[in-house]
Amino acid sequence: MAKKLMIVDEHVLARHMVRQVAATPQDTVLECGSPDEAVKAMGIFKPDCVMIGVTCPNPGVFKAIKNIREAYPQVRVVAVSSFDERRVREMATEAGASNYVTTENLSELFLLAAPERLTLKPISRPKKSRGKK
């Protein structure tokens, strides 16, 4: 199922990397270069998921996460960081991030962007006939 994803990071290369991992060709993706730009675009773009880069304990990023979650509680916000530090993770969670993913685990973003992409359908196997003997 196609989703609307917003990717927020000041570095173009980081946004590109997240896009490559998290988005499918059917998804609509908006890239924002700053948290302020993302907050302004929320009402117009109306994403299903926001993936926001936490490159350092930047209060602007955590404020943006909080503002997005307060105004759009249904939107999943995923903090993406190269920091695997407990305090940074706690700050993101306190601000309202749904999840926290480190760059070494970027593959998790594909499912976090749209959990329904993981569809486990049982393998249909032919039933053994139990004929009368």
CATH number, domain containing residue 10: 3.40.50.2300
Q: Which two tokens stand for residue 47?
A: 């994403």
Q: Please spell the DSSP secondary structure of 17-62, one letter per residue.
A: HHHHHH--TTSEEEEESSHHHHHHHHHHH--SEEEEE--S--HHHH
How far out from the chain centre does Cα 76 lie? 7
Q: How many domains does the chain fold into?
A: 1
Q: Is residue 83 part of a domain?
A: yes
Q: Is residue 51 part of a domain?
A: yes
Q: Is residue 17 part of a domain?
A: yes
- On the question of pLDDT at 124 being above 50, the answer is no
pLDDT in tens, 27-57: 999 999 999 999 999 999 999 999 999 976 6
Q: Is residue 133 part of a domain?
A: no
C-alpha angle 12/61/28, rounded to 5°? 50
- Residue type at position 40: K
Q: Is residue 128 part of a domain?
A: no
Residue 103 structural domain: 4-117
Residue 127, number of CB atoms within 10 A of its CB: 6
Q: Which two tokens stand for residue 87?
A: 């305090």
pLDDT of residue 40: 96
Grade residue 79 by pLDDT with cuts at 50, 70 and 90.
very high
Of 38, 82, 99, the residue nearest 63 (C-alpha): 38
List all residues 6 or more positions away from 104 whose beta carbon is below 8 Å from its beta carbon.
Answer: 84
